[in-house]
Amino acid sequence: MRVVILGAGISGHTAALLLRRKLSKKHEVIVVSPNSLWNWIPSNIWVGVGNMKPADVTFDLPSVYKRARIEFHQAKAIEIYPEGLGDAAHPYVLVESTKESDRGQKTEIKYDYLINATGPRLNFGATPGLGPDGFTHSVCTVDHAYSTALELDKLIEEMKTGQKKTLVVGTGHGLCTCEGAAFEYIFNLEFELRQKGVRDNARLVFLTNEAELGDFGVGGLQLKSGGFVTPSKVFAESLFVEREVNWITGAHVHKIEKNRLEYETLDGERDTLDFDFAMLLPPFTGVPLKAFNKIGEDISNQLFNASGFMKVDADYTVKTYEQWAPEDWPKTYQTAYKNIFAIGIAFAPPHQISKPRKSKNGTMIAPAPPRTGMPSAIMGRIVANSIADMINGVSENPTHAASMTEIGAACVASAGANAIVGGAVSMTMYPIVPDFKTYPNVGRSLVHTTGEIGTAGHWIKKLLHYAFIYKAKALPFWWIIPE
């Protein structure tokens, strides 16, 4: 049997390593990824403020796969033929090489099982002027983060001469996700400005599509501590006030020009914001993949939603926010084709987690569901286990499940990288998607949903950085480290 995995991010890489460990040598595990460097993306925020170098958060992927006996193709998938084509009845995926030596060369790779773990397409084009090719910076890739740090260094040198600067961090579109990354970046940025003695010359503005601070695309949290229940809104706002960071919530950025952006808020008001430095995250779409049936007809709309994310075992019936239910969310990540799965950002969520809102002008301003980090790794594990059991004859159907309404997540958001005076916000939530049937009023367990800030969090964040890179390199006993 041959298992082909598209993508080598957290979810795809996790699935590949586990499949190779669980399957005998007679079975093949193949990974297709356009990048030859593996990037621990959660630490890109440290690269983006100059606390780490690209080499600290990346490593050579082909050498790891060679040692692990996994076949690697540096290429991007462009077409899927789940029924084969014509007389060639075996399903295959068409890939296009991204290696410099044979760039653009196309190859058909047959599969018995396929995992779509391609991750997102960074849709900077959704907002005119957004991104490294426009007028803002990014930490979405290690190259973006490194370039951001270089520009920040220049800005700090100007600030040391007494120049006042406005720095804007947040989301560059009303439908962005990963607000947590922007949250981390602005507090690392604030910390570095203090460390370098130029904080008094900086005006910091957090611009977000969240209806309120602390939403994080998960509808906010209720945190129980010391017998009191505190909304994450209060928790977040107190940190912003303490660090003297201004904020604009419920914002959709319409366009960005050099040193100026135009945005609209939920109340329908449009305004402009001048800046000297901006790090704004883009919205995500699925990667541009097409699917065709046996006679060559385009069946992409059967496998993918309008945004390019792959449909899995979720309920995609159009419903109002009040009608959404925990049962809507996928459990096994299997598609209509029983040998195709989609995990991580590649799968299509049935709906948003935060309540979708429109401005008074009708502009949709709503965070997309986050499904990176720990949830992605868990999906990679359960799909790998299911496929291994299906190949080994244990069952004809997936044997493992991990609905986001039934699993929890832990997040450590850095708020300053320093062993003595640094800190981080350590948060857990259970479940990820609120379940108001099981947990009336709050949607989550008050026992397992927690949040606190302190220097210990920084040490945990640093420890996790090294632990997960160790695991990703498939070094001795890597499988002991949990997702």
Bridge partners of 222, per DSSP, are 231
Q: What is the pTM of this model?
A: 0.96
For residue 230, what are the β-bridge partners?
223
Nearest to 370 by CA among 184, 135, 152, 143: 184
CB 374 within 8 A of CB 380: no
- Alpha carbon separation from 318 to 107, 290, 314 (Å, rounded): 38, 24, 12
Q: Give per-residue burial for 109-126: e unless 16+ CB within 10 Å, then b.
A: bebbbbbbbbbbbbbbeb
Domains of the chain (ranges plus CATH)? Answer: 2-122+285-391 (3.50.50.60)
**pLDDT score of 87:** 79
346 Rama class: left (phi>0) / alpha (psi -120 to 50) / beta? alpha
For the chain, 483 residues long, give each residue's pLDDT as a single digit of tens. Answer: 999 999 999 999 999 999 999 999 999 999 999 999 999 999 999 999 999 999 999 999 999 999 999 999 999 999 999 999 987 689 999 999 999 999 999 999 999 999 999 999 999 999 999 999 999 999 999 999 999 999 999 999 999 999 999 999 999 999 999 899 999 999 999 999 999 999 999 999 999 999 999 999 999 999 877 678 889 999 999 999 999 999 999 999 999 999 999 999 999 999 999 999 999 999 999 999 999 999 999 999 999 999 999 999 999 999 999 999 999 999 999 999 999 999 999 999 999 999 999 999 999 999 999 988 899 999 999 999 999 999 999 999 999 999 999 999 999 999 999 999 999 999 999 999 999 999 998 999 999 998 889 999 999 999 999 999 999 999 999 999 999
Q: How far is CA 466 from CA 38, 45, 57, 142, 463, in A?
A: 14, 15, 9, 17, 5
Q: Name the 3-class secondary structure at 479.
A: helix
Distance CA 74, CA 160 (A): 44
Q: Give the pair of three-digit tokens for residue 409.
A: 């997540």
- Predicted pLDDT at 192: 97
For the record, the structure tokens of 456 come out as 């210990």
State the Cα–Cα distance between residues 187 and 196, nearest whole angstrom. 14
